[in-house]
Amino acid sequence: MTPRAGEQGPALQTLLQHHPYRAPSGFASAQLPTYRASTVLFDSVQQMRARNWRDQSGYTYGLHGTPSSFSLERRLADIEGARHALLCPSGLAAITLVDIALLQQGDQVLIPCNAYAPGREFAQRTLVRWGIETLIYDPLSPESLRALLGPRSRLVWLEAPGSVSMEMPDLRTLVAVAREAGVRTAIDNTWSAGIALQPFDLGIDVSMQALTKYQSGGADVLMGAVLTRDPALHEALMDAHMRLGLGVGGDDVALVLRGLASLPLRYAAHDASARRVAQWLQARPEVAQVLHPALSCSPGHAWWARDFQGAAGLFSVAFQPDIEAARIDALVDALRCFGIGYSWGGPLSLAVPYDMAHTRVPPARAVADAGSLPACLLRLNIGLERSEDLIADLQQAMRVAL
Ligand SMILES: *Cc1c(COP(=O)(O)O)cnc(C)c1O
């Protein structure tokens, strides 16, 4: 029996310790085994012909799912309140799957100016070759979105908060604007890990996750997921997923399943530690602004407070304008507890200086807020070290470099 989440039912944290798999009689392993498969055997030709890859009640081929990949999809859908989930080999592959499944020649896709840059570049460099136009809007101005929507608009991407610059948009109003125009919405929901934000309750059509981050939690797996409530949308996504040959390895599935059991606890720990570090940084004279949605000075804080139940351990720091980019590089080089490297969500704290000229594009219609960011932002992933040790490390590095 699998406990169900409900009004009086068990908490997510409890639910994540349970799954429908039952070990064969006489062997009571507590966790799912690692299923590796290309070939799946059938009892007869008749059974093989009767089996349909779309129907998850049976197995046809490793690429189309195994007991553990179906189980992971089920648990991810439960976390976000979705009905369907599809696994992809990376978060970026999940973004491109949504684009390929839902867009066709002549369509327009609308992307916020602070979106995850490789996803935006796929639209601007690859989709454009297939006759699909990308329009960049300012996520802090629902009016800038409304002004760009037209009869060819097919998909509005949302991201909360924006990558690196961390602005939190008013998701409810952006969704309402897209709906008024009859346009679907998809959200890059990676920062919330699906537990701090429930996108389907806001009327968003598709949610995308980079499981590479908190769901894996180990900084050692690449995986993504696309989630939906709508069966027709799921059909379209599943079709493209199959035609593109997107599959994930059984060992990677096992690692993410292992990570999921501790996801809410890790997320809360990263959140609490990151807020301590962010608050300390905010009080420093070298720091102009800490871009962390849970801090009241951060752009869109009110929307975070309204829609989110927590925050990730990922935020950015803007230094005083007289501190040049080279000194921020030197600060990162002087850190001892923070690794230098991309990605986030793992146990090791990371620091990356971002040149904003290459990270962000100007929206199609200029708005007040555009251009107010400094040329360089320091992005921090707060891992599972003790926050006092991270603060002491930042303090010594700032003393050395600034
Ligand atoms: C990391 C990330 C992705 C891409 O995930 P990969 O698994 O690295 O491809 C997409 N969106 C956001 C917001 C991310 O942080």
Q: What is the pLDDT of residues 282-305, one digit of tens each?
A: 999 999 999 999 999 999 999 999
CA of 120 to the centre of ligand 1 (A): 12
CA of 342 to the centre of ligand 1 (A): 10
* Residue nearest atom 3 of ligand 1, based on CA coordinates: 91
* All residues at 6 or more sequence positions from 10 whose CB lies less than 8 Å from its CB, including other chains: 3
* Cα distances (angstroms) measured from residue 362 to each of 49, 137, 171, 243, 289: 53, 8, 20, 34, 21
Q: What ranges do the domains of the chain cover?
A: 45-53+62-260, 263-401
Query: Is the CB–ligand 1 distance for residue 222 below 6 Å?
Result: yes
CA of 123 to the centre of ligand 1 (A): 15
Q: CB of 326 within 8 A of CB of 315?
A: no
Query: Is the CB–ligand 1 distance for residue 219 below 6 Å?
Result: no
- List, for residues 136-169, the tens digit of each pLDDT value: 999 999 999 999 999 999 999 999 999 999 999 9
- List, for residues 6-44, the tens digit of each pLDDT value: 567 888 888 888 777 777 788 878 888 899 999 999 999
Give the mean model confidence (pLDDT) for residues 309-331: 96
Q: Which atom of ligand 1 is nearest to the CA of 314?
A: 15
Q: Which atom of ligand 1 is nearest to the CA of 210?
A: 5
CA of 91 to the centre of ligand 1 (A): 5
pLDDT at 1 over 80: no
**pLDDT value of residue 6:** 59
pLDDT at 368 over 60: no
**pLDDT value of residue 366:** 44
Q: CB of 141 within 8 A of CB of 273?
A: no
Confidence of residue 4 (pLDDT cuts 50, 70, 90): low
Q: CB of 196 within 8 A of CB of 218?
A: no
* Residue nearest atom 5 of ligand 1, based on CA coordinates: 91
Query: Is the CB–ligand 1 distance for residue 92 below 6 Å?
Result: yes
Enclosing H/E stretch for 378: strand 376-381
Q: Which atom of ligand 1 is nearest to the CA of 211?
A: 7
- Per-residue burial over 107-132, b = 16 or more CB atoms within 10 Å of its CB, e = otherwise: bbbbbbbbbbbebbebbbeebeeeeb
The DSSP annotation for 159-223 comes to ESS-TTT-PPP-HHHHHHHHHHTT-EEEEE-GGGTTTS--GGGGT-SEEEEETTTTTT-SS----
CATH number of 45-53+62-260: 3.40.640.10
The pTM assigned to this predicted structure is 0.93
pLDDT at 67 over 70: yes
Q: Which atom of ligand 1 is nearest to the CA of 92?
A: 9
- List, for residues 230-262, the tens digit of each pLDDT value: 999 999 999 999 999 999 999 999 999 999 999
Class of domain 263-401: alpha beta
Q: CB of 186 within 8 A of CB of 139?
A: no
Helices 387-401 and 263-282 sit at what angle, rounded to 10 degrees?
Answer: 40
CA of 359 to the centre of ligand 1 (A): 14
The label of the residue with tokens 């002087």 reads: 334
pLDDT at 365 over 70: no
CA of 23 to the centre of ligand 1 (A): 34
CA of 92 to the centre of ligand 1 (A): 6
pLDDT averaged over every residue in the chain? 93
Best residue among 212, 220, 315, 316 to mutate for probing ligand 1's pocket (most ligand atoms within 8 Å of CB) is 212
Q: Which atom of ligand 1 is nearest to the CA of 223?
A: 7
> What is the percent of the chain with per-residue pLDDT over 70, rounded to a whole number?
96
pLDDT at 361 over 90: no
Query: Is the CB–ligand 1 distance for residue 261 below 6 Å?
Result: no
**pLDDT value of residue 322:** 94
Best residue among 90, 116, 159, 189 to mutate for probing ligand 1's pocket (most ligand atoms within 8 Å of CB) is 116
Q: Which atom of ligand 1 is nearest to the CA of 343?
A: 1
